[in-house]
A = this chain, B = another copy of it.
Amino acid sequence: MEMGFIGLGGMGEPMARNLIKAGHTLKIYNRTHSRAEALVSHGATLAETAAAACTAGVVATMLADDAAVESVVFGEHGVLEGLPRGGVHISHSTISTNLSRRLVEAHRQREQMFMAAPVFGRPDAAQAARLIVVAAGPPGAVERCHTALEAIGRKLFVIGPDAPAANTVKLAGNFLIASMLETLGEAFALLRKSGVDPANFLEIMVGSFFQSPVYENYGKIIAEQRYEPAGFKLRLGLKDVRLIMAAADEAASPMPIASLIRDNMISGVAQGLGDLDWSAVARVAALKSGLKT
């Protein structure tokens, strides 16, 4: 399929590469051109503007935050402007449910379609085409883009026609992970102060009823305090927790664990841990219990 791809950061670049590998023809755009060049050597065409990347009628965006998406979509020479009538915008970014709703409406007014297809996974999963993709949008759009959605991940969940629902699922999923990180942080601090090796505890948990990869992988990182290099920085984790809380506020649904994590992540940033992996929220817990690391 001919399609555009906008946003070639640590996640977007390997996603675009996997689309090319799967046989799609890409017109790419990135604010800083240099990041796009490697892909050109793999056959992608460089677009001068976001709008220019949309001419084929399908465009995927993978951007850092709400502001970046707003700028690329609503800005001059942006997606809204460049996408033909009937075209599809696939948004992979982790954005607020509020922005997602505004995107549905803006595209609808232009007779374009908006599909939210946020992904779970870190850059290594993006490279290996092992992302989990959760898509929601108009049935026609999903059908038309199916191969593109399957090319980037190992599992695709299509959950319905309401795009913001996919964003809510993404945020709720990140909340589950963040809550697990904070929980492990508190538990490990207790264990360390009680003279029990967290690695032993983790082995028991993972060896019995918490046999899930996130517990195993993050549990190891925390037990070994290996917060560098960051797979996903604490300050970005904080950004996501803010989105969760915004969604909770809009839905009038209190999320006290999210609030608590937010405070601890702010504390982490305040204490200079912002560039560590977001699992370093466990270090914040350790510091509060008087441990030095």
Residues of chain A having any CB pair with chain B under 8 Å = 97, 120, 132, 134, 155, 157, 159, 162, 164-165, 168-169, 172-173, 175-177, 179-180, 182-184, 186-187, 189-191, 193-196, 200-201, 203-205, 207-215, 242, 247-249, 251-260, 262-264, 266-267, 269-272, 285, 288-290
CA distance A106 to B193 in the complex (A): 24
Residues of B within 8 A of A253 (CB): 186, 189-190, 193-194, 266, 270, 289-290
Assess whether B193 is in contact with A159, with CB atoms less than 8 Å apart. Answer: no
Which residue of chain B is the closest to A217 with respect to CB atoms? B209
CA distance A272 to B289 in the complex (A): 10
Contacts A191-B172, A249-B242, A289-B252 given; indicate if A155 touches B208 (C-beta within 8 A): yes
Q: Tell me, rounded to whole Å, the shortest Cβ–Cβ distance linking A61 to chain B.
A: 22
Assess whether B179 is in contact with A179, with CB atoms less than 8 Å apart. Answer: yes
Q: A162-B195, A248-B266, A252-B290 are in contact. List 18 more A-B contacts (CB 8 A).
A: A132-B209, A134-B204, A157-B204, A159-B204, A164-B194, A165-B194, A168-B191, A172-B201, A173-B201, A175-B190, A190-B248, A190-B251, A193-B253, A254-B270, A256-B256, A256-B263, A259-B263, A288-B288
Assess whether A255 is in contact with B172, with CB atoms less than 8 Å apart. Answer: no
- With beta carbons under 8 angstroms apart, the residue of B120, B155, B159, B176 that contacts A187 is B176
Contacts A205-B173, A209-B214 given; indicate if A254 touches B267 (C-beta within 8 A): yes
- With beta carbons under 8 angstroms apart, the residue of B184, B191, B212 that contacts A212 is B212
Assess whether B257 is in contact with A186, with CB atoms less than 8 Å apart. Answer: yes
Which residue of chain B is the closest to A254 with respect to CB atoms? B263
Listed from nearest, the 7 A-B pairs whose CB atoms lie closest are A270-B290, A259-B259, A254-B263, A253-B289, A252-B270, A212-B212, A193-B251
Residues of B within 8 A of A201 (CB): 169, 172-173
Assess whether B255 is in contact with A190, with CB atoms less than 8 Å apart. Answer: yes
Identical copies of this chain, number: 4
Residues of B within 8 A of A195 (CB): 162, 165
Assess whether A175 is in contact with B196, with CB atoms less than 8 Å apart. Answer: no
CA distance A184 to B177 in the complex (A): 11
Assess whether B254 is in contact with A257, with CB atoms less than 8 Å apart. Answer: no
Assess whether A254 is in contact with B249, with CB atoms less than 8 Å apart. Answer: no
- 25 pairs from A and B in contact (CB 8 Å cutoff): A120-B209, A132-B208, A132-B209, A155-B208, A164-B194, A165-B194, A169-B196, A169-B200, A172-B190, A175-B183, A177-B209, A179-B183, A179-B257, A182-B257, A186-B253, A193-B251, A193-B253, A212-B215, A252-B266, A253-B266, A253-B290, A254-B267, A256-B260, A267-B289, A272-B290
Which residue of chain B is the closest to A190 with respect to CB atoms? B253
